[in-house]
Structure 1
């Protein structure tokens, strides 16, 4: 069920399956919205109450002119409170993993399991902005299609790129279509600015929940060694490497991804 929560002077759009004893909250990546997390939702909706959200600045949620990762973190804690959840399992993907980690660093007593998929400890800007700069492209000037082209080259394993080129793999169809209008140039700039010089590595000691970091062998956006660095910094955190996959690991190796996450959540 989709609903809007009024928190922190904005509205956050939430999609809640409402079924299941344990809650799994999913946080999407750069320029995306909650629909990009539906493949993960569908993997776990039979066993968990799965909650997907449009973070501030994205999807159907309020799109402020300025915001930070800390704003996202406070939003998530308020979402947990508004939905009357004692604890959640929190999974963040790419940019969503930076947000999820910061959420745990701000406060951990309402988080049971923390899963960071394709993550990194810090950055001067977003990983996608870095890739676009290397390709001499401006994040505020390109279309979603152009951006996806750059992302695909950096985020798929070699065999998957071949399948895309041959028409055997439709990544867009597998990920699901966006429910909301694309971000405007100003909104993309605000999103990029929210990641400028972020650094989650200074507060690893504040993460006391059970933590799993998942990296992908061919991830050119957030290489797996960066994820391992995060795992090494958090006490007792686990690290798993999924082979033959890139940044779009949930498309390339969905069964392996699901198995790793299920094992972690059940232990």
Structure 2
């Protein structure tokens, strides 16, 4: 079982648990600005994903093994059911956990996430792409990789963020280990993960989907997910790209509080 590094915040009023999964090149730290707000009524736990932050990653890591280790982590902490929030890679992981352990999830919010790739051909092509990225990490190191990564089209909208926020994002990425990120790509990347598209209609729990309006690819994916999930609602947030919780944090916080945590909050205009 993986030894997950995590931070936890709770209050005397907390009766349920919210578990948080971050995205690739991030850590639990991406959720720290929200944890005070979300811990008013919940026990909030933010983990470092495998190969990120202070959580190691196994040589034979898989997404299924990750979900099994999370189930064991919950058992270890006497937690029966959780609400799940995951961003990007963490969203794929959250959905994978819910598909594998549906009785342990009472609600879920997926930010800029997908159920994976449908065909074996697509997955093989993505594995090859991720292997090139992993090799680049090992050959060039984290610093040069971050120079490349922060300039891919997916994060173009982040260039309009205040300098202080861009600096914080870069520092978080630079804090990683090349070996951990490379292994994450090879073992838990989109190409290595089984598709969960055919499992969406079996999920009975309420699912809140969040995407940024500028992130057209994931808007399309999530519109399709909304149609297939039995109980889902999609929020397309204006003036945001892939990382809604960084680009529009106030709106994201309010969506989480109202639709996932059911804490009263006035929602700002989303689209």
Out of 42-51 and 240-249, give the one that drifted further: 42-51
Q: Which runs of 5+ in 1 are unaligned?
A: 1-7
Match of 1:257 in 2: 252
How far does residue 228 in structure 1 lie from its aligned partner after superposition?
2.1
Secondary structure of the equivalent of 2:150? helix
Q: Does 1:209 align with 2:205?
A: yes
| Equivalences for residues 112-261 of structure 1 within 5 A | 112-123=106-117, 124=123, 138-149=136-147, 150-151=149-150, 153-156=152-155, 158=157, 160-163=158-161, 168-173=163-168, 175=169, 178=172, 182-185=176-179, 187-194=180-187, 195=189, 196-198=191-193, 199-219=195-215, 223-261=218-256
Structure 1's 255 and 125: CA in aligned 2 closer, same or farther, altered over 3 A?
farther
Question: Whose strand proportion is higher, 1 or 2?
Answer: 1
Counterpart check, 1:95 vs 2:89:
yes
Q: Out of 31-40 and 254-263, give the one that drifted further.
A: 31-40
Q: Comparing both structures, which one devotes a greater share of its residues to helix?
A: 2
**Distance (Å, rounded) in 2 between the aligned partners of 1:125 and 1:42:** 41
1:26 alignment partner in structure 2? 20
Residue aligned with 2:103, SS: coil
Query: Relative to 1, partners in 2 of residues 1:172 and 1:77: Cα closer, same or farther, differing over 3 Å?
Result: farther
CA shift for structure 1 position 52: 0.7
**1:229 Cα offset (Å):** 2.1
For residues 76 and 131 of structure 1, do their structure 2 counterparts lie closer, same or farther at Cα, with a shift above 3 Å needed? closer
Task: Give the Cα–Cα distance (whole angstroms) in 1 for the partners of residues 164 and 62 of structure 2.
Answer: 35
Q: 2: distance between equivalents of 1:68 and 1:248? A: 25
d(CA) in 2 for partners of 1:31, 1:239: 26
Q: How does 1:43-82 map to 2 (within 5 A)?
A: 43-82=37-76
Which blocks of at least 5 consecutive residues in structure 2 are unaligned? Answer: 118-122, 264-271
CA RMSD after TM alignment: 3.2
> Matched residue pairs, number?
250
Q: Would the aligned equivalents of 1:55 and 1:72 in 2 still touch at CA under 8 Å?
A: no
Tell me, yes or no, if the aligned pair for 1:14 and 1:52 is still in contact at 8 Å. yes
